[in-house]
Amino acid sequence: MAKTLADLTPTQLASLKKANPGLTDHQLVDVLNNITTDKALLTVYPRTLADIPESMLTDMQTKNPTHTPMQHLESARAYAIALGIPPVYVMVYPPAKPVETPAEKTARVLKSFIVRPLQVGQAERYTQLLGSMHGVASSIMQHCPDSKEMDLALIKLEEAKMWACAAINNNE
């Protein structure tokens, strides 16, 4: 294990300095020797606070009581890199959508094209929604210079109106 700063790679040295801002090289050597001898060594790159040895986390909390748990985790990660433990990156994938059968897909698509009579209260909500959007459109035209961006804002507002009306129509 490295006992001097010269034994560290540039990446390891940068990580050690990041975890201990403002320390001199002599103080960094003391920190390096402390984390390699006095504490239970980090054996894996810490992804959560639970991956940090208890004695090391307690020492970090004592020396830096104002640091947040996330700052302690970042320091432990920097120590791990200084010790030569490679970072581990974990990809978190969103849950897979359930596979839709052809019959379910057909039913979902055709639901959007059914003519539905107005339910009680829908006409008032449509009127209120369209009135609000009319006000927004008027405000855009009043406060924005005539430009491509203003035209796009109005087009997107029309699209928002269409989706809002579809939400009321298709889901009640």
pLDDT of 82-111, one tens digit each? 777 777 665 556 666 778 888 988 888 887
Task: Say what the pTM is.
Answer: 0.39
Q: Please say whether the beta carbons of 161 and 129 come within 8 A.
A: yes
More confident residue, 132 or 13: 132
pLDDT confidence tier of residue 112, bands split at 50, 70 and 90: confident
Three-state SS string over the chain comes to: CCCCHHHCCHHHHHHHHHHCCCCCHHHHHHHHHHHHHCCCCCCCCCCCHHHCCHHHHHHHHHHCCCCCHHHHHHHHHHHHHHCCCCCCCCCCCCCCCCCCCHHHHHHHHHHCCCCCCCCCCHHHHHHHHHHHHHHHHHHHHHHCCCCHHHHHHHHHHHHHHHHHHHHHHHCC
Q: What is the pLDDT of residue 15?
A: 74
| Position 158 confidence tier, pLDDT thresholds 50, 70, 90 | very high
